[in-house]
Amino acid sequence: MLKKWCRIFPGLPWQVAEARHFVAALLGDEGSRLVEDAELVVGELAANAVRHTRSGWYRGWFLVVVGFSDDLVRIEVIDQGSDNEPQVRSVISPVDVGGRGLLLIAACAKDWGVKDRPGGRCVWADLARVSV
């Protein structure tokens, strides 16, 4: 990655929208499809951090990192960890109404993954940049 930008957000539900605005502002000159995909990715990852990790606890936080290379934009959301691993849910699972955010990310990202970190976890997604 050539350039990286980052911002820390309080672990509050309304900060998910702020994270989307942050990423959209960084990608303002990119194509609309990339901006839409990036907003979806950061929105899902930030919402997961707030809902399912210690980031949503009192005084919690999550960090959004956006990295740029010639052909990719990498979005990382670093949270404060949890006892459960992120899982992609089945499309046909009748039990849960929600829980398909990682499936959406897998559909629009070139690649994605999870890295454990001391005191937390990083979930990342690479989005392809298209030359105009």
Q: What is the CATH number of the domain that holds 49?
A: 3.30.565.10
Question: Which pTM does this prediction carry?
Answer: 0.86
Residue 98: pLDDT band (50, 70, 90) is low
* Residue whose token pair is 């539900």: 13
Distances (CA, A) of 9 to 2, 15, 64, 95, 115: 23, 6, 8, 32, 20
> Tens digits of per-residue pLDDT, 58-88?
999 999 999 999 999 999 999 999 887 665 5
Q: What is the pLDDT of residue 132?
A: 47
Q: CB–CB of 59/80 below 8 Å?
A: no
Q: CB–CB of 60/54 below 8 Å?
A: yes
Task: Give the span between the Cα atoms of 44 and 12, in whole angstroms.
Answer: 14
Task: Provide the domain limits for residue 102.
Answer: 3-128
Domain count, the chain: 1
